Amino acid sequence: MKKFILLIVLFCNCENVVAQASKKLLGLCNRDSLLLSPWKEWFEPNYTNYKPEADFIAKLRKNLSKDYSFEVYFGTWCGDSKRELPRFYKIINESNFPENKIKLVAVDSGENYKQSPGGETIGKGIYRVATFIVLKNGFEVGRVTEHPVYTLEEDIFKIISGGDYESNFRTYKHVDQWLERGLMSNPNVSLKGLAKQLKPLLITPSELSSCAKVLTTQGKLKEAIFICRINTYIFYDNPETYSMLARTLSKDGQHKEALENIEYAIKINTDNEELQYLLTSFYNIKLASN
């Protein structure tokens, strides 16, 4: 306990360091936007260097009809987006598919985590970027999330051909269904029961942490807290799950429980590099509770 108090005192005497955010593209845009500086520095070489598989390009030329369209959500700050978006356009161009059937939306980071200024992400289940949504006659038939399962051209073909395909981050489909049904704000719902549905699908807690951050940004705090509780149930020995729960509880005004969770996160933490981040969270929650 003395060690914990000493660490808090030392932390409170430290100066805050704030990093300046880099330039970001936000909202509805098109390929021409990506050919401007600074984004062309990563778009052009990644477009030029990507060589799609000829067999799948031939299949897409034949099967990617005018009934299809795409919605693409990405971040100019995101490494996965910088890799996959140029590849997507290379595939689209070589498949002779019209670019005017692509809705391209750049999302934010930081306080507006994975949101667009025009609200295009609301109700779309955008928890990771880049996300490529494939629509047929205006209805979603599949999506590629963050990175392909196989290759991007093969994934798109599997989706439009009705083949055996399931996107990465399979928990998000369940979360979206729960949102539609209002399960996460229903006090009668079994948290453990829903957690057990997700547990076989998860490898790390980051998948649900991203989801909780998006829900928090959208003002869905009850649902975000529910997801955080599931994360602590599944990854019960991971301090970051308790830290995430604590920060979300604090935003909802539940400071007492928030402090209990952040203190527990500090207690079980074994990573010295993570300690300052946890202490920052403790300090901010303590400040908010006064």
Mapped onto helix, strand or coil, the DSSP state of residue 165 is coil
What number of other Cβ atoms are within 10 A of residue 255's Cβ? 18
pTM (two decimals): 0.88
Q: Quick one: 156 and 278 in the same domain?
A: no
Instruction: Find the length of the chain.
Output: 290
Q: Quick one: 12 and 88 in the same domain?
A: no
Q: What is the 3-state secondary structure (H, E, C) of 31-47?
A: HHHHCCCCCHHHHHHHH
pLDDT (tens, 9 = 90+) of the chain, 290 residues, equals 444 544 444 344 333 222 234 589 999 999 999 999 999 999 999 999 999 999 999 999 999 999 999 999 999 999 999 999 999 999 999 999 999 999 999 999 999 999 999 999 999 999 999 999 999 999 999 999 999 999 999 999 999 999 889 999 999 999 999 999 999 999 999 999 999 999 999 999 999 999 999 999 999 999 999 999 999 999 999 999 999 999 999 999 999 999 999 999 999 999 988 999 999 999 999 999 88
- Is residue 223 assigned to a domain? yes
From start to end of the chain, where are the E strands?
27-29, 68-74, 102-106, 131-136, 139-145
- Residue span of the structural domain in which 53 resides: 27-168
| Structural element, H or E, at residue 242 | helix 239-251
pLDDT (0 to 100) of residue 22:
57
pLDDT (0 to 100) of residue 163:
83
- Is residue 265 assigned to a domain? yes
Q: Quick one: 146 and 206 in the same domain?
A: no
Domains in the chain, number:
2
Q: Choose the final residue of a domain: 138, 168, 198.
A: 168
Q: Quick one: 270 and 223 in the same domain?
A: yes
pLDDT (0 to 100) of residue 23:
87
Q: Choose the final residue of a domain: 168, 200, 224.
A: 168
